[in-house]
Amino acid sequence: MALYEHVFLARQDLAQAQVDALAEAATKIVEENQGKVTKTETWGLRSLAYRIAKNRKAHYVMLHIDAPAGVVAELERQTAINEDVIRYMTIRVDEHEQGPSAMMRRGERDRDGRRDGRGDRGDRGDRGDRGDRPRREDREVA
């Protein structure tokens, strides 16, 4: 059987219990068709890059699936019908990532206080003398 990662975005106005129910429904579809869901990750309510169907945020959920291609086709068909899901994507992978996904590791790194590449750049040290610079009124106008 092939390995897949299925990520879906649920509407922002859903409660966490409803999002969990959507993930359970997807798991049930896969298991009814001789597949199995090996891992489910809920990434939480996150901002979208642009509005989708009047939503500025969405609940993100990822499923690791081990199933034949027909199961994925049925899962995508049922997901497309569901009004609570605003986007979904399924990709085939060679192997599932062990441990938490990159999205979950990012949250842990932020909580630990490590830098995430944004914000304060730290002490820049002494910049030294910048030399003589012409005053604003002495500069030439092109």
Average pLDDT, the chain: 85
19: Cβ contacts below 8 Å, ≥ 6 apart: 10, 42, 59, 61
The pLDDT tens digits for 56-105 are 999 999 999 999 989 999 999 999 999 999 999 999 999 887 877 778 77
Q: Give a yes or no: residue 127 inside a domain.
A: no
Q: Give a yes or no: residue 82 inside a domain.
A: yes
Q: How many structural domains are present in the chain?
A: 1
Domain with residue 102: its CATH number is 3.30.70.60
Confidence bin at 111 (pLDDT 50/70/90):
low
Percent pLDDT > 70 in the chain is 84
Q: Give a yes or no: residue 30 inside a domain.
A: yes
- pLDDT given at position 102: 78
Domain that holds residue 102: 2-112
Q: Give a yes or no: residue 31 inside a domain.
A: yes
Q: Give a yes or no: residue 35 inside a domain.
A: yes
Distance CA 79, CA 83 (A): 8
Has residue 21 got a pLDDT over 80? yes
Q: Give a yes or no: residue 132 inside a domain.
A: no
Has residue 141 got a pLDDT over 80? no
103 sits in which H/E element? helix 102-112
Has residue 133 got a pLDDT over 60? yes
Q: Give a yes or no: residue 23 inside a domain.
A: yes
Q: Give a yes or no: residue 18 inside a domain.
A: yes
- pLDDT given at position 126: 75
The mean per-residue pLDDT over the stretch 11-26 comes to: 95
- pLDDT given at position 56: 94
Instruction: Report CA torsion sign: 44, 47, 48, 52.
Output: positive
DSSP state of 139: S
- pLDDT given at position 110: 63
**Which residue, 34, 94, 101, is CA-closest to 63?**
101
